């Protein structure tokens, strides 16, 4: 996720991130999903440990476990399977070496060949595969 989106989410939900949270290991197309999800779960007594992509889907890990919050998280994770991780348009799972959820256009652009997730947190950023 780019620096602007990262900073926006960092400021807006200041108290929700665990001290070990390292940043968003996902691309910008899922920004809106994350924003809405954090909005809905911020009132629960939980902290975000990790937000990443796995097998083409969004994964959000929290502590401690809260059943009600987890149901909300499950719903937003399910939305990611129909949402292009790059641009946010309607997407689907693509078998690209590792599975990515992309729209037709991003898939055709061979976007999946690039390492796409950038973690901006504190002052460092890391490119992850
Ligand atoms: Zn796309």
pLDDT in tens, 31-52: 999 999 999 999 999 999 999 9
Cβ of 107: how many Cβ atoms within 10 Å? 18
Q: Give 127 Cα–ligand 1 centroid separation in angstroms.
A: 20
How many helices and strands (H and E) does the chain possess?
A: 4, 7
Please give the Cα distance from 44 to 60 (Å, whole number).
15
Q: Give 117 Cα–ligand 1 centroid separation in angstroms.
A: 14
Q: Give 1 Cα–ligand 1 centroid separation in angstroms.
A: 14
Q: Please compute, for residue 118, the number of CA atoms within 13 A of its CA located in the half-sphere on the CB side.
A: 16
Residue ranges near ligand 1 (ion) with Cβ within 5 Å: 84, 86-87, 89, 103, 106
- Model pLDDT, residue 2: 84
Q: Give 87 Cα–ligand 1 centroid separation in angstroms.
A: 4
Token pair listed for 36: 């809405």
* pLDDT beyond 70 at 83: yes
pTM: 0.88
- Model pLDDT, residue 118: 62
Q: What is the DSSP letter of 89?
A: S
Question: By percentage, how much of the chain surpasses pLDDT 90?
Answer: 64
pLDDT in tens, 88-127: 999 999 887 778 899 999 888 877 665 555 667 665 555 5
Q: Give 70 Cα–ligand 1 centroid separation in angstroms.
A: 27
Q: Give 88 Cα–ligand 1 centroid separation in angstroms.
A: 6
Q: Which residue has the higher pLDDT, 86 or 123?
A: 86
């Amino acid at each position: 996720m780019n620096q602007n989106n990262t900073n926006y989410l960092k400021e807006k939900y200041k108290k929700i991130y665990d001290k070990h949270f390292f940043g968003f290991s996902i691309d910008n197309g899922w920004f809106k999903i994350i924003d809405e999800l954090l909005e809905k779960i911020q009132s629960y007594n939980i902290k975000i440990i990790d937000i990443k992509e796995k097998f083409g889907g969004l994964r959000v890990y929290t502590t401690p476990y809260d059943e009600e919050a987890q149901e909300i998280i499950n719903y937003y994770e399910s939305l990611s399977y129909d949402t292009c991780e790059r641009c946010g348009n309607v997407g689907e799972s693509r078998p690209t070496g590792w599975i990515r959820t992309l729209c037709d256009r991003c898939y055709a652009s061979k976007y999946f060949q690039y390492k796409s997730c950038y973690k901006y947190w504190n002052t460092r950023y890391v490119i992850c595969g």
